[in-house]
Chain A
Amino acid sequence: MIRIRNGLASLVAAPLLVGLAFGLGACGGSGDGDTDGENGSAGGGAEGGTVRVAVCGPMTGSAAAFGEMIKNAAKLMEKEVNAAGGVDVGGTKMKLEAVVFDDKGDTTEATNVARKVASDDSLLFVIGHFNSTCSNAAKGEYNRVGIVQFSPGSTNVKVCKDGPFTFRNLYRDDYQGQQIAAYVKETLGVSKVAVIYDNDDYGKGLMQSFKAQAEKEGLAVVAEEGYLRERTQDFKPLVQKAKDAGADGIFIAGLYNEAALITKAARQDLQLDVPIMGGDGVMSPTFIKNAGAAAEGAYIATPFLFNTGNDSSAATAFMKAFEDAYGKEPDTWAALTYDALGMALATLADAGTDRDKVRAALAAATDEASGYTGVTGVTYFDAEGDCYSKPVYVATVKDGAFVPAEKSITK
């Protein structure tokens, strides 16, 4: 039998309860549970007057800040489309339901999600995944079953290769790495660069293309330091190696949280005041929030940028609608998700509820005229499903916000 020692037990329980209440009160709403799409009404299908599409991304885990933006953008489009009477599906207006799936930024989870989504016949296409590793892992299943996988965030070179059903609406890492290397050399005036990279598909791919171009540009790569997300917690030793190697610039091929730690270690701990540039994985407000003052003056490459001074009217309208709905500015990934979903939905007018026809309609967008014009510009594809129609923008951090760099397009 358990005998509760009264004095001790209440002594323990009281502060704990207070603590929990405090915790819940302080950040209610930050963890919302709308992430598992499997709870959506299955089999409702298009015939019930509703058209269902899957939105897959890292709703939790080490890339969750991206996932939140992706989900919010998709839900915004869902709201807007339904408010306007629905989606045109083969001539009839249908209600849109964007079902969100969480891949946790993890390959195993992404495969599970892909299996679940592909086998659910009521889902017409997939917007996702985000992490290149996840898109690569899920690709096989989508292409085997035959459902469009349209990524608004995966930049790894291999993502669209050998996958007729796989598309993306942003550049590839070989292009990004090339442009960044040129930018670091020419615009930032760096001659000896240290590369700190995430040891996954995205980080390694970007690091390699950066290195290849750096060689051509005569930019010396003096240190190459890989790390593992979650496992590597202290980045000071890595930055130390960069400093010891005499680097006069740092390039980070990784995600925002680690980039914040690297930037802090360089600026605060080691007083290394050299230009720091990150790949598009760093493009998240969480980077600025976590790095604080250290983030000031960092450069970040991105497939799209708001507030460039000549934003399109679509971009301005999206920005306003997003801010009204969620109380914060959208980021690049929200914009790309919004466009990917918009483009795929537009195909339904002719394709109806046929998954193959959705693919054919997307694949038919091969030039500016047949492409889709959205928030992030025009999207059209090459034979692989890759998108070459967008430049690499460069943002910098000023007064705690992303603003266009002095030279904001690398080309």
Chain B
Amino acid sequence: MADLLTPENLVNALSLGALYALIAVGYTMVYGIIKLINFAHGEIYMLGAFWALLVVGMEQATGINLFVAIVPAMLLCAAVGMTVDWSAYLSLRRRLPLADGLSIGGLTLLGVGAIFYKLTGDTTHAWYSEAAHGVFGWSIVALVPVVMLALSIGEKGGMLGRSLGRVSSDRLSALITAIGMSLILQTLAQLVWGADYRAFPQESIPAWMNEPSFHLGDAPVLGKELTMWVVALAMMAGLHLLVSRTKIGTAMRACSMDQETAALMGISVDRVIAFTFLIGSGMAAVAGVLYSVKVGGNISFRMGYYPGLLAFAAAVLGGIGNIRGAMLGGVLIGFLQGFTGGTFTIPFLVMILVLLVLPRGILGEPQATRA
């Protein structure tokens, strides 16, 4: 154990903590207001790195400083985040009956197809193997019209959804749509930029980023690591001030407590939600750029998957819906991973253990406050 508590590991833990905290607040803010786990959030993180890479030069360096490139990356990601909300989730919030039915049907088909696909993985030429391939493929195709229909259909509650009982129907379809959105963004990124791994050109990264800025114990802290910590801290502080002191922050809190009442008080709920996506996506973009610099590259269409997963775990650990909880959870998960040499098992194990004792997460609010 003692050899894990080294200053080098502390430096890594702090960097990972900053990373996960920056992504986790995006998950938690959206969940706090519309009770949706936005699985496309990891892809926003990925897009952040790609937008910045486009600015500094994907094939040939343009000579633009990376810090300059962060700004358009943030703006574009904020735009993408809002577009995702506007195109996929907004209409689902209006409870659409047919969309429910189709999405549940699509999900069932996908499940059955996947099971068959797995079961028949080693047999050949058999008709059921072919059929399983067919079902699997078609059920993915079926999810597309679900999203399309979700965009265009009426206002009343869904019958299939209601009969499901415990899981509210609109939340289920929104969740599936979120997974779909994540796949769509990944696939688009792969189509546009290809499947290869990329790195920021050396010219775009200021030299001091790769040099030690000070020493923590006997471990040097590189400029890029220090930047991550400072930026993450500043953004967290800014977010805290925004939510607690400003008018839009008050509106966000009001919406997370009770959307209908908030709307009656004259708050434009959809605008508040769009703003939430904007802030969360901007922070994810910064995380994407800074972490890619820290690890020296690894920019690819899949890069958002694992950080997204861990940040989601961080949000749940801290108490999903609670912003301070997400920051705390992010740092905790970062420390758990940093001090165990980058494993995945320990952070998830601890998350499960904590949730067994505190089902709503460390700072989660009791459900009773919501009617």
Contacts and interface: CB of A to CB of B under 8 A. Distances in A.
A141 interface: yes
Interface residues of A, number: 58
Interface stretch (B158-166, B168-176, B301-309, B352-360): B301-309
Interface string B12-42: 1001100000000000000000000000000
Interface of B: 8-9, 12, 15-16, 50-51, 54, 58-59, 75-76, 79-80, 82-83, 86, 90-91, 94, 121-122, 124-125, 129, 151-152, 154-155, 190-199, 201-202, 210, 222, 270-271, 274, 291, 294-298, 300, 302-303, 305-307, 338, 341-342, 344
A16 B302 contact: no
Contacts of B191: 31
A290 B199 contact: yes
Nearest to B199: A290
Main secondary structure of the interface of A (DSSP, over half): helix
A16 B8 contact: no
A149 B294 CA distance: 41
Contact of A240 (B8, B54, B76): B8
Nearest to A240: B8
A308 interface: no
B298 A233 contact: yes
Given A2-B90, A16-B80, A232-B342, A260 B199 contact: yes
Interface stretch (A56-64, A127-135, A298-306): A56-64
A234 B196 contact: no
Interface in A205-241: 230-238, 240-241
A407 to B, nearest CB: 29
A261 B59 contact: no
B83 A13 contact: yes
Contacts of B307: 233
A124 B297 CA distance: 41
A290 B124 contact: no
A269 interface: yes
Contact of A5 (B190, B196, B202, B271): B271
Interface string A234-263: 111110110010000000000001001100
A316 interface: no
B135 to A, nearest CB: 15
Contact of A19 (B8, B76, B338): B76
Contacts of A290: 197-199, 296-297
Nearest to A13: B83
Rank and list the top 7 A-B pairs by shortest CB-CB distance, nearest first: A264-B296, A60-B195, A257-B197, A64-B195, A290-B199, A292-B202, A30-B194
Given A26-B58, A27-B59, A269-B210, A234 B294 contact: yes
Interface string A255-296: 001001100110011000000000000000010011111100
Interface stretch (A111-119, A185-193, A318-326): A111-119
B210 A12 contact: no
Given A27-B59, A233-B295, A268-B296, A115 B79 contact: no
Given A2-B151, A23-B54, A64-B194, A265 B271 contact: no
B95 to A, nearest CB: 12
A16 B79 contact: yes
A254 to B, nearest CB: 13
A1 B155 contact: yes
Interface string A20-49: 101110110011000000000000000000
Contacts of B15: 234
B71 to A, nearest CB: 12
Q: Which of A108, A111, A240 has the most CB of B within 10 A?
A: A240
B70 to A, nearest CB: 15
B306 A230 contact: yes
A84 interface: no
Contacts of B129: 115
A43 to B, nearest CB: 16
A83 interface: no
A369 interface: no
Contact of B12 (A1, A8, A111, A234): A234
A65 interface: yes
B342 A237 contact: yes
A9 B300 CA distance: 29
B295 A15 contact: no
A264 B210 CA distance: 10
A9 B59 CA distance: 33
A291 B193 CA distance: 19
Contact of A1 (B83, B154, B300): B154
Contacts of B297: 257, 260-261, 264, 290
Nearest to B12: A237
